Amino acid sequence: MNNLLIVGQYVPTNSIVHRMDPRVKMLIIFFYVIFIFFANNVISYSLFTLFALGSTILTKVPWRFIVKGLTPVWFLIVFTFILHLFVTREGSVLFNLFGLQIYSGALEQGAVISLRFFLLILLTSLLTLTTTPIEITDAVESLLGPLRRFKFPVHELALMMSISLRFIPTLLQETEKISNAQASRGVDFRTGPFRERVRAVIPLLVPLFVSAFKRAEELAMAMEARGYRGGEGRTKLRELRVVKRDVAALVCFIVIAAAALITRDYS
Amino acid sequence: MDITFEKVDYTYQANSPFEHKALDSMSFHLPTGSVTAIVGHTGSGKSTLIQHLNGLIRPTNGKVRIGDYVLEPKKKPKHAKALREKVGIVFQYPEHQLFEETVEKDIAFGPRNFGVPEQEIQKRVAESAQAVGLRADLLKRSPFELSGGQMRRVAIAGILAVRPRVLVLDEPTAGLDPRGQKEIMDMFYRIHQEQQLTTILVTHSMEDALAYADQVLVLDKGKKYMEGTPVEVFSQRQALQQVQLDVPEMFQFLLKASDRFGKPVAYQGQDVERLAEQLAALAGDPNE
Ligand SMILES: Nc1ncnc2c1ncn2[C@@H]1O[C@H](COP(=O)(O)OP(=O)(O)OP(=O)(O)O)[C@@H](O)[C@H]1O
Ligand SMILES: [Mg+2]
């Protein structure tokens, strides 16, 4: 199947990060994404880097897996860096590359932006690597809870999310099965002229839609048969609870965020 | 076409935490013209094995030979399409692969992909529809309007219309009613004999393995656990129970009868009448 992209894959290692409250994980990541844009010196960048790498180590997910899983992202990061080298014209000229002048500012900015990009992707992929779709949905439902007062359909949204997440692997599996079956009937998905390849998608898509609709109908029927009536008065099997390790992680993050704000060069 | 597996390993998602060895040093030989039943507990690697047969996947280690075609690790097969024309696979629930507007078009899809001339296609569609027992008036209908059993027949006809030399069946009767099951299996057996195919049947039904197969391959956790004629394999009840498999009803019955009369009654492929006589002889004279 899709070995290349780890975004969206859960790796059960039962580490301390896995056992954290998903709401806390999401909040930290959310604010990390915001606060990293306040970093503008060596200290704050080192702290943010340390935080991301430290969290990665704590997840106990093998490094090799993460590095390989970010393959498509590496490409983007390197691309960003090179783009910066060529277009930014700040600082002094460092050297000449094939007639192009490379500025010191370009090197610096390229490095900083690539680093930022890398950290963002790394930390956000940790969320799905260590949190099951169910936990993510529960966290979303809980975090959006206050919106209920404004008649916002929080429960329905969370349900939709969990159903979609639940069916992604199923659909991928189905896709693989059907593409195997059609390949056995002589369909060539990989070679041939572009027009042919587009046409080859039809035998894949039609059965996929048919089965998706069938599944949706069956699911609706099964839910109704089990008396599903929406979110009203519904209790949870797994209560989310903030415990010591969550507090510790939060404190850790707040310190770093504060350091970034304090050391920031506002000039 | 002879089929040979030489120490084949297959690993899903190699080098990841999800790494899973689905086939482990698998070796066997299936002669041309034979029917082989592959049995094994769920997850034992049957479907993984058959995906090697037309090059959908390649071994992680080892070698697969299908006639003159050789599949090796890390080497893209040159004539994958030619191989797929020779090896027809009827996947589990093949009706899920239907997509055309009419039954006729769907059956014609395979032959058309393999470049069969238009006139020949028409001929093959009619022939294979008849072979699987589809009425001619269904050909113009949409495949999605048919019953489950009819849809399955359409899908099977779509494979047969390619005229493969090797026919691979992954639980072809799953989810059908008993009568439909027997009809489909008898149909496959007839086609196997008429066209002198090499057939591989993945099944959970020990009765089918006994009734149709020349040899049985038992898999367990990706390894070859047992191999032999149906009588050889099914005579080893305890070994089979160790891997959560039962022996066919016929064998269970004979074991019980042997217990009851205190004398062994061995099944060696004799027909039902002969067996009945043997049993009657035992039962008729209990004091002997
Ligand atoms: N795409 C895949 N990715 C990872 N693991 C897989 C994949 N497909 C199958 N497996 C694993 O490989 C093993 C063998 O699977 P396979 O489908 O060959 O079993 P099977 O004998 O056909 O079982 P069944 O009788 O249920 O059809 C199983 O443990 C399964 O979990
Ligand atoms: Mg299977």
Does some domain include residue A230?
no
B51 touches chain A (CB under 8 A): yes
pLDDT 10s digits, A20-41: 999 999 999 999 999 888 888 8
- Given a cut of 70, the residues of chain A with pLDDT beneath it are 1-8, 267
CB B184, CB B173: distance < 8 Å: yes
Cα–Cα distance, A117 to B282 (Å, whole number): 83
Q: What is the mean pLDDT of residues B240-249?
A: 90
Same structural domain for residues A34 and A117?
yes
> Can you give the pLDDT at residue A2?
43
| Ligand 1 atom, smallest distance to B219 CA | 21
- Same-domain status, A67 and A131: yes
State whether residue A181 sits within 8 Å of chain B by CB. yes
Q: Is residue A122 part of a domain?
A: yes
Residue B13, ligand 1, Cβ within 6 A: yes
Q: Could you report the per-residue pLDDT of A158-194, keeping only the tens digit for each?
A: 888 888 877 887 888 899 999 999 999 998 877 777 8
Least CB–CB distance from A202: residue in B84, B99, B113: B99
Q: Please compute Rg for chain A using Cα positions.
A: 23
**What is the pTM (predicted TM-score) of this model?**
0.78
CB B192 within 8 A of CB B165: no
Question: So what's the pLDDT on residue B287?
Answer: 57
Contacts of B233 (CB under 8 A, 6+ apart): B216, B218, B226, B227, B240
Q: Does residue B79 carry a pLDDT above 70?
A: yes
For residues A69 and A185, membership in a common domain is answered with no
Torsion angle defined by CA atoms of residues A248, A254, A256 and A261, in that order, rounded to the nearest 10 degrees = -170
Domain residues for the domain of A114 are 9-145+242-263
Pair A181, A76 in one domain:
no
Helices (H), chain A: 22-35, 42-59, 63-69, 71-87, 104-130, 133-144, 154-184, 194-199, 202-225, 244-263
- Residue nearest (by alpha carbon) to ligand 1 atom 29: B43
Let me know how long chain A is. 267
Expressed in angstroms and rounded, the spacing between residue B12 Cα and the centre of ligand 1 is: 9
In terms of domains, do A25 and A74 share one?
yes
CATH numeric code, B3-242: 3.40.50.300
Domain identity same for A138 and A253: yes
| In a shared domain, residues A204 and A84 | no
Q: Is B235 a residue whose pLDDT tops 80?
A: yes
pLDDT of residue A234: 77
Burial class, B258, CB count within 10 angstroms (exposed 0-12 / middle 13-18 / buried 19+): middle
From A218-232, B20-34, B98-112, B215-229, the region with the lowest mean pLDDT: A218-232
Q: What's the gap in Å between the CA of B208 and the closest CA on chain A?
A: 24
Task: Work out which ligand 1 atom sits closest to the CA atom of B41.
Answer: 25
pLDDT score, position B7: 94
Instruction: Report the pLDDT value the prediction gives residue B286, as an integer from 0 to 100.
Output: 54
| Statement to judge: residues A246 and A215 lie in one domain | no
- Write the ipTM: 0.88
Q: What 3-state class would DSSP assign to B162?
A: coil
Q: Is residue A53 part of a domain?
A: yes
Q: Is residue A171 domain-shared with residue A72, that is, in the same domain?
A: no
Nearest CA to ligand 1 atom 25: B42
Residues A114 and A173 reside in one and the same domain:
no
Q: How far is the CA of B48 from the centre of ligand 2 (A)?
A: 7
Mutate which of B86, B109, B113 to disrupt the A interface (most A C-beta within 10 Å)? Answer: B113
Query: Is the pLDDT confidence value at B3 over 70?
Result: yes
Asked, for residue A190, whether it belongs to a domain, the answer is: yes
Q: Is residue A152 part of a domain?
A: no
User: Based on the domain organization, do A13 and A112 belong to the same domain?
Assistant: yes
Domain count, chain A: 2
User: Burial, A37: exposed, middle or buried (Cβ in 10 Å; 0-12, 13-18, 19+)?
Assistant: exposed
How many A-B residue pairs are in contact by the CB < 8 A criterion? Answer: 68
Taking each helix axis as running N to C, give the angle between helix A202-225 and helix A154-184, from 0 to 180 degrees, rounded to the nearest 10: 140
Query: Are residues B98 and B157 in contact, defined by beta-carbon separation less than 8 angstroms?
Result: no
The alpha carbons of chain B give a radius of gyration, in whole angstroms, of: 21
pLDDT at A254: 92
Give mean pLDDT, residues B176-195: 92
Task: Report yes or no on A236 lying in a domain.
Answer: no
- Report the separation in Å between the CA atom of B171 and the middle of ligand 2, taken as the mean of its atom positions: 8
Q: Is residue A1 part of a domain?
A: no
Instruction: List Cα–Cα distances, A36 to A40, A57, A110, A189, A258, in angstroms.
Output: 9, 20, 16, 42, 11
DSSP, collapsed to helix, strand or coil, labels residue B77 as: coil
**Shortest Cα distance from A139 to chain B (angstroms)?**
26
**Chain B residues closer than 8 Å to A207 by CB:** 96-99
Where are the domains positioned within chain B? 3-242, 248-283
User: Can you point out the beta strands (E) in chain B?
Assistant: 3-12, 20-30, 35-40, 61-66, 69-71, 87-90, 166-170, 198-202, 215-220, 223-228
CB contact under 8 A, B97 and A203: yes
| Residue A31 touches partner B, C-beta closer than 8 Å | no
